[in-house]
Amino acid sequence: MTMKTRVFSGVQPTGNLHIGNYLGALTQFVDLQNEGECVYCIVDMHAITLPKEPDELRDHVLDVAALYIAVGIDPKKSIVFVQSDVPGHAELAWILTCQSYTGELSRMTQFKDKSRGNESAPAGLFMYPVLMAADILLYDADVVPVGRDQKQHIELTRDLAIRVNNRLGEDTFVVPEGRFLKEGARIMALDDPTAKMSKSAESEMSRISLLDDEAKIKKAIMRSTTDSDGEIRYDIENKPGVSNLLSIYSAFSGRSIPEIERAYEGQGYGSLKKDLVEVAVDQIRPIQARYAEIRHSEALTRVLADGAERAGVIAEATMRRVKDKFGLGGGASVPSGAGR
Ligand code: ATP
Ligand code: LTN
């Protein structure tokens, strides 16, 4: 019997998902459903690394759950659940904290970026990648589809798994691989193509949210930063704005970048932008319609309850195995060998 590939990924409930999240991560989530056993998490414990209003957090969790389904994640095929519903994440995060070094955690660029300017950074922000490693290792994940910005965190997860396996045996953790797309892996801000498109950037014109209306999408694309030489050519170094528009166009339409360059030869940025608005709206509109149907439905709550139960079964088996390996636990622990 061949064991199915286990896929795990997570998204933070920190606001409306944007096309960077969609093109870098969510499209992969959907495609992988036909290849493996997929577990998709809404990582609410990561979201509290920076202060969050409780009611807002609850709303955002449901927003992301509904968007997961709206983009095509099928809860019958995949497990969709909320991180804090499964206690194993926090439990394993502590065990992994004890395997990590402050030096390697201080080198994480996301930590450096998010804590910049803070004389005393929140400890949760520092531990963020360890919790992420726990998420992944808890499900014995083979493959982790993410945007390119998460590459360093995936490397840390692999380092931790290998470090523990060297000490306690190869059967302690599955060493996961990151999966990054070619186009869409790093979508940049529309008003500043040197920064990544982000939920947390102040300017609304920097991003396109999956829930934006047509007028906003049009405005953000038409106003996006380009350059003055007028040539539609992919060149990240010298033409980051146009290159970003080409990446977005390619990821949405499925057409290759050289093909798009050829199609627009001799034309101005205006026509590229105008057509990109159409391509983006065509893709986003059906997602919004499906989102509206399910966001306030009881079915959504049932998906999360069912997901938590199914995720919990996998997590408990891993925790029994890992605690036994570390010599943790008293009467409640069982001998090694339990697992998937
Ligand atoms: P923020 O956008 O506020 O920085 P984040 O990167 O923390 O948020 P998450 O919601 O946790 O966002 O990310 C979900 C997924 O989207 C991750 O796999 C991440 O790599 C991917 N992603 C985020 N931003 C981009 C982007 N600009 N381009 C491509 N993928 C992205
Ligand atoms: N750090 C990720 C979100 C995340 C994640 C995970 C992604 C948390 N846990 C586990 C993949 C696997 C981010 O995109 N900011």
Residue 332 has what pLDDT?
A: 65
Q: Which atom of ligand 2 is nearest to the CA of 128?
A: 1
For the cut 70, the answer to whether the pLDDT of residue 173 exceeds it is: yes
Same domain, 135 and 58: yes
Cβ atoms of residues 26 and 16 within 8 Å: no
Same domain, 67 and 166: yes
**Which member of 52, 76, 114, 182 is catalytic?**
114
Residue 293 has what pLDDT?
A: 97
Cβ atoms of residues 132 and 170 within 8 Å: no
Same domain, 10 and 142: yes
For the cut 90, the answer to whether the pLDDT of residue 339 exceeds it is: no
Same domain, 289 and 301: no
Residue located nearest, by CA, to atom 16 of ligand 1: 21
Residue 336 resides in a domain = no
Cα 268 to ligand 1 centre (Å) = 30
Residue 126 has what pLDDT?
A: 96
CATH code, 211: 1.10.240.10
What's the average model confidence in pLDDT over 165-188?
92
Amino acid at site 243: S
54: number of Cβ within 10 Å: 8
Q: What is the mean pLDDT of the chain?
A: 94
Considering only residues 258 and 182, tell me which one the structure prediction assigns the higher pLDDT.
258
Active site residue 199: yes
Strand-pairing partners, residue 79, are 39
For the cut 80, the answer to whether the pLDDT of residue 185 exceeds it is: no
CATH code, 125: 3.40.50.620
139: number of Cβ within 10 Å: 27
Same domain, 179 and 232: no
Same domain, 150 and 282: no
Q: How far apart are CA 326 and CA 29, in angstroms?
A: 33
pLDDT band of residue 200 (cuts 50, 70, 90) is confident
